[in-house]
A and B are shown apart, each in its own frame.
Chain A
Amino acid sequence: MADNGLLESVLRLVEKVDGGTDSQDVAADLGVDHQVIVGAVKSLQALGEVISAEQKSSRHWELTGEGREIAEQGSHEARVFNAIPDEGLPQNQLMKMPSGKVGFSKAMSNKWIRLDKAHEGGPRVFKTVEAIEDTVRDKLQLVQKGQSAKLEDKEKNELKKRKLLSEVTVKSYWITKGSSFSTTITKQETELTPEMIASGSWKEKKFKPYNFEAMGVAPDCGHLHPLMKVRTQFRQIFLEMGFTEMPTNNFIESSFWNFDSLFQPQQHPARDQHDTFFISDPALAHEFPQDYLERVKKVHSEGGYGSQGYKYDWKIEEAQKNLLRTHTTAVSARMLYKLAQQEKFTPVKYFSIDRVFRNETLDATHLAEFHQIEGVVADYGLTLGNLMGILHQFFTKLGITKLRFKPAYNPYTEPSMEVFSYHEGLKKWVEVGNSGVFRPEMLLPMGLPEGVSVIAWGLSLERPTMIKYGINNIRELVGHKVNLQMVYDSPICRLDS
């Protein structure tokens, strides 16, 4: 900050003029560099409404280094003229002077001097006039005094051509009195201190205004991952709807629970090496509920429970193969089997959100692992209308109210429905999930009572998260290639707003 003396001098100058003054004039009046006055203006602005200053730019002429030299010592031609005594000077001696070459030709063209080439002892230079008027120096001195306006444009351009003058743009301020103008400076405090509070001195002090345009300092904190924030919200929704969380912390599953128990035939393409990650170590599962396994085998190979079955030779070897679960429905199957073992059936509502694995070709929206969200309701007499009703409630909590359902195929649900919601942005219906009623061939071998229906639905966690946070490439969201800045900057997640 400029010192108070200077600031007050500036203020006094401003007080004297009525319409305001230019900071350049102030600098000239006070005999200080213009930049110092610019600093003073900024300091005064920071004091509040003492002055008002409007920035403007003006062009003005300034001497170059050579120009300044001439203003002090005279033009080259004048210096040459003055160096020549009445008896003349040998040309070679004259040329050795610093201004020699330029000065000689200029003085010659001004006809101030003449050259006697035939002089004995070599060419010699003589004055032709008694006295000269150094107009170049005079003009430059005018510019130096800030009186360039007295010169004609033609003259200035000529000097510019000789690289003695240059035209520069100067940013200056037009200073006028502010609403709380005063010629004395009261020092402003930057911050309230404990001492001021203790002494009460804050009452007398003026405080420097804050710049509310600036950003604050970022708090030193950690951040939750956006996908996990969305997971938390989905968990919350299920809990609000009375659903109990299933133990999905078992990525390794047997083909039996992942496929066979769901009545997915052993030659189904999903059981191909191309779609599923199989495990080489530990390759096989042992220990199955034996009588249940027999019932599963029977319903696949021969049918039963009102079903034709798939009529093929069901092999335990195929069911034993361990794999990375391809859906959390494997856990739903375990849970429903467990439920069927209860003495008396009780209705349940289950949910889970966890990782599943597919040996798929990877692209911008597909990874080998993703999170599946799943909801399951088991009770007597549930209908397809109930499934649609509960889906409506679920999606309403996500802020999606326009739903419609398309018939679809899924090996373990019948009927199966794809859930579509109307996307206001895209102006079209987009698929948001899959749903269905578990097949009797899956439920009855477990031992669930005949009249019990189980309705279920699923969707991925990644897709709604990508839409919510506007992420196009799944790798920017999931996995180690995540952009941490995105994690730092992602807002809280409220799915319904």
Chain B
Amino acid sequence: MPTVSVKRDLLFEALGQKYTDEEFDELCFEFGLELDEITSEKEILIREQGGEKAEGASDVVLYKIDVPANRYDLLCLEGLVRGLQVFKEKLEAPRYKRVSPADGGEPQRLVITEETASVRPHAVAAVLRNITFTQERYESFIELQEKLHQNICRKRTLVAIGTHDLDTISGPFTYTAKPPGEIRFKPLSQSREYTAAELMSLYKTDSHLRHYLHIIENEPLYPIIYDSNGIVLSMPPIINGDHSKISLNTKNIFIECTATDLTKVNRFTLIITVCLFVCFNTFFILFRVEEAEVVYPDGRLSVYPELAYRTETLSGDFINKRVGINESAESIAQLLTRMCLRSEVSGEGDLIQVEIPPTRADVIHACDIMEDAAIAYGFNNIVRSTPRTYTVANQLPVNKLTELLRQDLTAAGFTEALTFALCSEEDIADKLRKNITETRAVHISNPKTADFQVARTSLLPGLLKTIAANRKMPLPLKLFEISDVVLKDETKDVGARNNRRLCAVYYNKSPGFEVIHGLLDRVMQLLDVKPGRNQGYHIQAAEDSTFFPGRCAEIFSCGKSIGHLGVLHPDVISRFELTMPCSAIDIDIEPFL
């Protein structure tokens, strides 16, 4: 969930009202936000870097507010204030529109060349005119750009936004792609020119930029935007040129957004991003959003930003029935208007016309509108009622059997362990003296540590590790677990299945095979399987590399092998950092369902 950090006093000034922390928390809760933390820059510095670094830092109160992941329109102070003011009916939702250049001038134009096709083929553009920044507005503008990068732009992997002082550059602009060695410019915050290749190694150690290098690093061509004089605007998605950087004095801004190929992203996200960006900034910064043209390699021409409003029609009855309230169409229209969805009753029955602004890309279905009506009504004002759905409960047979067996295993003196379903390859192979290829293990492709390389194929490693972590406990240790292991199985749609197993270990100064054997007899008694060769159960000597030679038996029930029991091989014991003899049983309980 994204977090927006805003200065409290600035927020209250913009809201035109002062709140206590509790009151503001309450307002957030109602609106679906969370006042996560009340802090200051100074406090953050003290916490992260210690008191010394924090000397002289600002102690202006900051509110950190969690915003739902779909509400990109609330990602900055301006967006938040607008949302809350409209919610509290202190303000009407603004209408966003773009204008043509003044005095009938030509729109700015961005020309995309076909070289971009292989690396980052999409781009849109927009122009903001007559801006007056203050320090705070400027910071908010930059922060919003960063928030969009982190969220809807997925850390720039989908979309990157570049902003430029339009008065320092001249169109038309060209978006192309070139080999890294041929790109040369002075990037933001550097004092000299670098080639793109040099920049990539320079930024390897940059705490911020190094996270984005991978997006284009291995491409033969890097995306690059030039103005008509060959000045570099930006090398998306990494860095802008220093020449066109914006400042507090910037009056006119050229915005370009670029995106990778359509398999991951879509024109849609790109368009939304630029539109969110320009719309938010209209709230405090009085300026015009001016259209810009984008020319595609095939000669097609589009005009951006698209500030499209859409109208949905739905009935008051639909909302009442889904939410469980009984409001008139008029009052529902009013509720929706408070959520920035300007609505009115159409006059036909209880039909409501709802206008979806370009900033609310999250509204894609009538159910999204229904939710906004419910939020405006107040979730906690809705009468809670019990559904009359009549059903009879059933347990899953394998879980029912597990529950019953667990009870009786503790009655037999064994204590239940609860171990991880994921483990290292070593745990299920080397340490058990098995070859990983014979385990039928499911392998994980992206484990962060060796502890999550495979799904377990046996409960035994977990139990032995539990004993190793509890060696100070008095002996004997008697542990069991009934849980799932995972095995590859080509007959399943996903190629693997779970298998419910029962595993128990006895750890003492003597191996206690008879104890584990006795447990088997008891389990079979509980499952109502009698000793015997055909319809019953029996054990027979077997070789298994996990067990001590001559001290292992295979367990058969109704003629089918269900597992093993025996004294563990000394190497297994030492590989799990244990020192005492240990016997174990491991059986499949699914045949007893």
Chain A positions within 8 Å of B, measured between CB atoms, are 220-225, 227-228, 232, 235, 238-254, 266-267, 269, 273, 277-288, 303, 305-313, 315, 322, 324, 347-349, 355, 357, 359, 361, 367-369, 377, 379, 381-386, 388-390, 392-393, 404-409, 411, 414-417, 429, 437, 439-441, 453, 455, 477-485, 487-488
A18→B390 CA distance, assembly (Å): 84
Report B9 CB to chain A, min CB distance, Å: 25
Could you say which residues of chain B place their CB within 8 Å of the CB of A238? 393
Give Cα distance in the complex from A115 to B407, angstroms: 96
CB distance from A431 to the nearest CB of B (A): 9
Chain B residue with Cβ nearest A349: B391
CA distance A308 to B366 in the complex (A): 10
For window 386-421 of B, CB contacts with A under 8 Å fall at 386-387, 389-396, 398-399, 403, 406-407, 409-421
> Which A residues are in CB contact (< 8 Å) with B1?
409
Q: What residues on B are CB-neighbors of A386 within 8 Å? A: 324, 385-387
Q: Which of A254, A361, A415 contacts B371 (CB 8 A)?
A: A415
Query: Which of B100-108, B200-208, B491-499, B523-531 lines the interface with chain A?
Result: B491-499
List 29 A-B residue pairs with CB atoms under 8 Å apart, sorted by A's residue number: A222-B410, A222-B413, A223-B415, A224-B410, A244-B394, A245-B394, A267-B158, A279-B443, A285-B493, A286-B493, A308-B365, A312-B266, A348-B391, A359-B448, A386-B385, A388-B384, A392-B384, A393-B386, A404-B380, A407-B371, A414-B367, A414-B371, A415-B371, A416-B371, A440-B367, A480-B419, A480-B468, A482-B469, A483-B470
A384 with B374: CB separation less than 8 A: yes
Least CB distance, B556 to chain A, in whole angstroms: 24
* Proximity string of chain B (418-437) to chain A, C-beta cutoff 8 Å, 1 when within and 0 when not: 11111000000000000000
Q: How near does chain A come to B370, taking the closest CB pair, in angstroms? A: 7
| Complex-state Cα separation, A52 to B570, whole angstroms | 61
Contacts of B69 in A (CB 8 A): 409
- Interface presence of B368 (CB below 8 A): yes
| Chain B 309-334 interface residues, beta-carbon cutoff 8 Å to A | 321-325
Q: Is the CB of B323 within 8 A of A313?
A: no
What separation, in Å, do the CA atoms of A414 and B446 have in the docked complex? 31
Question: Is A242's CB under 8 angstroms from B412's CB?
Answer: no
Given A282-B488, A480-B420, also A235-B403 (CB < 8 A): yes
Number of interface residues, chain B, beta carbon within 8 A: 102
A160–B188 Cα distance when bound, in Å, is 91
Q: Which chain B positions have C-beta within 8 A of A406?
A: 29, 32, 34, 379
A439 touches B367 (CB 8 A): yes
B445–A232 CB distance below 8 A: no
Question: Do B382 and A384 touch (CB < 8 A)?
Answer: yes
Q: A245-B396, A409-B70 are in contact. Are A383 and B321 (CB under 8 A)?
A: yes
Map CB proximity to A onto B481-506 as digits: 1 under 8 Å, 0 otherwise.
00010101010111111101000000
**Which residues of A lie under 8 Å from residue B465 when comparing CB positions?**
480
Of listed A382, A429, A478, residue having the most chain B CB within 10 A: A382
Inter-subunit contact B367/A281 (CB<8 Å): no
CB < 8 Å neighbour of B442 from A241, A281, A408: A281
Residues of B within 8 A of A313 (CB): 262-263, 266
The residue on A at minimum CB distance from B479 is A484
Chain A residue, CB-CB nearest to B407: A224
Which chain B positions have C-beta within 8 A of A245? 393-396, 399
A222, B412: Cβ atoms closer than 8 Å: yes
> What is the bound-complex CA distance between A309 and B382, given in angstroms?
29
Determine whether B265 belongs to the interface, using a CB cutoff of 8 Å to chain A.
Answer: yes
Alpha-carbon separation in the docked complex, A479 to B459 (Å): 12
B268 touches A312 (CB 8 A): yes
